[in-house]
Amino acid sequence: MSLIPLLLLILASLSLIPPSKSAPDFTNIVYKGCAKQSLSDPTGVYSQALSSLYGTLLSQSSKSKFYKTSTGSGQSSISGLFQCRGDLSNVDCYSCVSRLPILIDKLCGKPIAARMQLYGCYMLYEVAGFAQISGMEMLFKSCSGTNVGGAGFEEKRDTALNSLENGMSGGNGGFFTTSYQDVYVLGQCEGDVGASDCVECVKNAVQKSQVECGSSISGQIYLHKCFISYSFYPNGIPKKSSSASYSSPSSSSGGEPNTGKTVAIIVGGAAGVGFLVICLLFARGLLKKKDGKVFK
C-alpha cells in the first residue's frame, strides 16, 4: 500500500478532531493579602487551630457557597471564611476552595491574617484581636490595558452597572449578573452582609470602577465586603457555561483564542503524524527484508 494515500487519510482524520476546550479560569489567582507579622507559635496551638479551620471550611465548600466560623479559644482563636461565586456549582466551589489553603501556605506562609482571592472563590482568616478595616475599603483593582474607542461605550457600561445596582437590591442572595447590549456585569457581596449594606457596597465599587478604569474594555473592583466586574464584548457576549461565565482581564478583550494552546495542539498533531510515518517506513523496510529472505 502506498504511504501517500495513507498519510492523507491520517491528516484528514486529525483535522476532524475538535480542539480541546480551555479549562475554566475560576481557579486563577486574582490577588493575595498577607499580613506582615508572622504567627508566634512555639507550642503549635495556632497551627492546630488553623489546620482545624481549613478542614472545616473545606468540608463545607461542597455544600455551601459561603461559610464563616472560628476555631480555638480565647486569644489563640482564629476566625475565617470562604465564599464562592454565586454561579459556581457545588463541585466547582469545592474544587476552587480546596486550592486556597495550599496557596495561602505557599505564598503567605503563616501570618496572623491572610486573604487569597481566586476568580471563583476566596478565603480569609485572622487571629483574635486583628485590626478590622472598613467594608468599603478597596483591596484590589484590575483594569484592562485595552481601551474602547468611539462614542457610546461608557453609556453602555454605566447603564449595565446601574442595572447591577438595582439587581443587587432585589433579594438575590448578594449575587447578581446582567448585561446591557455588549456589556456583561457581575456583582457579589460577602455572605453575611445585610441587603442595604450590600447595595451600598456595590454602589461604591461601581463608582470606583468608573473612576479607576475609565474607558478600559473590562474592569474588576474588589472591596473588603463586595466586588464587581464588567466586560465589554465588541462582537457580542459569548455564551458560556456558568462555571466560566466570568472572564479574566486577559480574556475579556473580545474573546481572543488562546494562541499558545492552539499552537501546542498543532505542533503535537504534526509530531504525531511524523512519528507514525517513521513507524510505517520502518515497518515497510522490515517487510522488504523479510520478503527477500523467504522468497529468495
State which amino acid sits at residue 42: P
Contact between 183 and 206 (Cβ < 8 Å): no
Q: What was the pLDDT predicted at 171?
A: 72
The answer to whether the beta carbons of residues 66 and 88 sit under 8 Å apart is: no
Strand (E) or helix (H) holding 175 = strand 175-180
Which tens digits make up the pLDDT trace of 39-77?
A: 999 999 999 999 999 999 999 999 999 999 999 988 889
Instruction: Judge whether residue 283 has pLDDT over 70.
Output: no
Q: What is the pLDDT of residue 267?
A: 30
Reported as a pLDDT band with limits 50, 70 and 90, residue 284 is low
DSSP 8-state secondary structure symbol assigned to residue 130 = P
Mean predicted confidence (pLDDT) in 200-208: 96
- Mean pLDDT along residues 148-174: 88
Pairs from 221-224 (Cβ < 8 Å, separation ≥ 24): 221/138, 221/140, 221/141, 222/30, 222/31, 222/117, 222/138, 222/139, 222/140, 222/141, 223/135, 223/136, 223/137, 223/138, 223/139, 224/133, 224/134, 224/135, 224/136, 224/137, 224/139
CA distances from 157 to 180, 214, 235, 245 (A): 8, 10, 15, 18
Asked whether 52 and 71 are in contact (CB, 8 A), the reply is yes
CA dihedral 212, 213, 214, 218 (to 10 degrees): -160
3-class secondary-structure state, position 2: coil
Q: What is the pLDDT of residue 97?
A: 97
Cα 46 → chain centroid: 30
Q: What is the DSSP letter of 77?
A: -
117 touches 94 (CB < 8 A): no
pLDDT digits (tens, 9 = 90+) for 84-141: 999 999 999 999 999 999 999 999 999 999 999 999 999 999 999 998 888 999 999 9
Give pLDDT, residue 11: 35
Distance, C-alpha 143 to centroid of its chain:
16
Q: How long is the chain?
A: 296
pLDDT per residue as tens digits for the range 208-263: 999 999 999 999 999 999 999 999 998 888 876 344 444 433 333 333 322 222 22
Place of cell 507559635: 41
pLDDT of residue 98: 97
Across-strand partners of 186? 177, 229
Q: What are phi and psi of 242, to 5 degrees?
A: -60, -35
pLDDT in the model for residue 207 = 96
Is residue 276 predicted with pLDDT exceeding 60? no
Lateral strand order in the sheet of 138-143: 138-143, 218-223, 226-232, 183-189, 175-180
Which residue, among 141, 4, 121, has the nearest Cα to 67 in the 3D structure? 121
Q: Is the pLDDT at 190 greater than 70, yes or no? A: yes
Instruction: Provide the residue type at 91 as one letter.
Output: V
Supply 195's cell numbers. 441587603
Confidence of residue 170 (pLDDT cuts 50, 70, 90): confident
Identity (one letter) of the amino acid at 78? I
Q: Phi, psi at residue 193, to the nearest 5°? A: -85, 130
Cβ proximity of 254 and 148 under 8 Å: no
The per-residue pLDDT for 67 is: 98
Q: Has residue 12 got a pLDDT over 70?
A: no
pLDDT of residue 198: 95
